[in-house]
Amino acid sequence: YMEEKTVTISLPKKKKTDLYNTVTGKFIARDLSSSGKIKIPPKEASVIVCVPSGGRQSYERQKMMINGVVVDYHFSRHGK
């Protein structure tokens, strides 16, 4: 789109959730419950992964994992 868009993501109720954007390699929201709104800039894309809040982050080569589950296969500790 040529203009910024706001998207609402429905989340599991009674579970705190963090939102991670695999395109930017950054968490964009933390400790959400039931729903979260994210803004997507003009002419950009986002791939959002919902992960448990407070999950244990670990790294194996270029993979970033939360609680042992791969969240980002192309993670760089220096940013994307």
Q: What global pTM score does this model have?
A: 0.86
72 and 52 Cβ atoms separated by less than 8 Å: no
pLDDT band at 79 (very low <50, low <70, confident <90, very high): low
**Strands, E, within the chain: which ranges?**
5-10, 17-21, 26-32, 35-40, 48-52, 57-60, 63-66, 69-72
Q: Is the pLDDT of residue 78 over 70?
A: no
Residue 19 CA to residue 28 CA, distance in Å, equals 6
1-44 per-position pLDDT tens digit: 999 999 999 998 888 999 999 999 999 999 998 888 999 999 99
pLDDT band at 68 (very low <50, low <70, confident <90, very high): very high
Selection from 73, 34, 74 nearest residue 50 by Cα: 34
Backbone angles phi, psi at 11, to 5 degrees: -125, 160
